[in-house]
C-alpha cells in the first residue's frame, strides 16, 4: 500500500548521508527510503514535505496536481484495494542538484484476486532531505482500474 505518513523526515536516513554532496546525499536518501519501502519498514512517502506538490502527468481523470491532503484522498481507495503493500523494485536513481529521478516498478496482490503491476518514473525535488515536489509518470489506466473498481478490470 502507498501510505502518506507523518511529516518529519526520518532522521536516521538523513543523518546517515549527512557528509555527502547534495546530489549524492539526495540520491542516497531516496535509495534508502525505497529499501525501507521494499522491506516494509517505511516508504518514500515518509520523506514528503508537509507542503509537497505532487503532479501526476497524463490525460486520465487522476492526472493533476495535488497537495498532501488531496494526494492521500486520491490514494485511499487504491490502497484499500491492495491485499498487501506495494513492493517496489528500483531500476535507476539519478540525481542532479536538488532533482532526483527515480525509475521503478511495483507490484501488489489485489483483494479481488490478480496482481497490480505498474512502471513509474518520479521526478523528485528535494530540499533539506525532504521531497517538496514530485512529477509522476505511470500507467494511469492500471492505477485507475484498481482505484475505481478494486482491480476488477486491472491488467
Over the chain (155 residues), what is each successive 10-residue block's mean pLDDT? Answer: 50 55 92 95 94 97 96 96 96 95 97 95 97 98 92 50
* Predicted local confidence at residue 149, as pLDDT: 85
* Predicted local confidence at residue 19, as pLDDT: 47
Residues with Cβ within 8 Å of residue 32, at least 6 apart in sequence: 13, 16, 17
Class level of CATH domain 11-149: alpha beta
pTM (predicted TM-score): 0.83
* Predicted local confidence at residue 22, as pLDDT: 86
Amino acid at each position: 500500500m502507498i501510505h502518506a505518513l507523518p511529516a518529519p523526515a526520518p532522521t536516521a536516513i538523513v543523518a546517515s548521508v549527512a557528509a555527502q554532496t547534495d546530489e549524492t546525499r539526495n540520491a542516497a536518501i531516496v535509495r534508502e527510503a525505497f529499501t525501507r519501502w521494499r522491506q516494509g519498514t517505511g516508504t518514500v512517502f515518509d520523506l514528503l514535505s508537509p507542503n509537497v506538490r505532487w503532479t501526476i502527468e497524463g490525460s486520465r481523470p487522476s492526472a493533476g496536481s495535488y497537495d498532501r491532503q488531496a494526494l492521500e484522498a486520491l490514494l485511499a481507495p487504491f490502497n484499500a484495494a491492495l491485499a498487501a503493500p506495494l513492493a517496489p523494485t528500483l531500476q535507476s536513481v539519478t540525481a542532479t542538484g536538488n532533482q532526483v529521478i527515480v525509475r521503478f516498478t511495483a507490484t501488489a496482490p489485489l483483494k479481488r484476486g490478480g496482481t497490480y503491476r505498474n512502471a513509474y518514473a518520479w521526478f523528485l525535488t528535494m530540499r533539506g532531505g525532504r521531497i517538496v515536489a514530485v512529477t509522476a509518470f505511470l500507467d494511469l489506466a492500471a492505477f485507475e482500474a484498481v482505484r475505481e473498481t478494486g482491480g476488477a478490470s486491472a491488467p
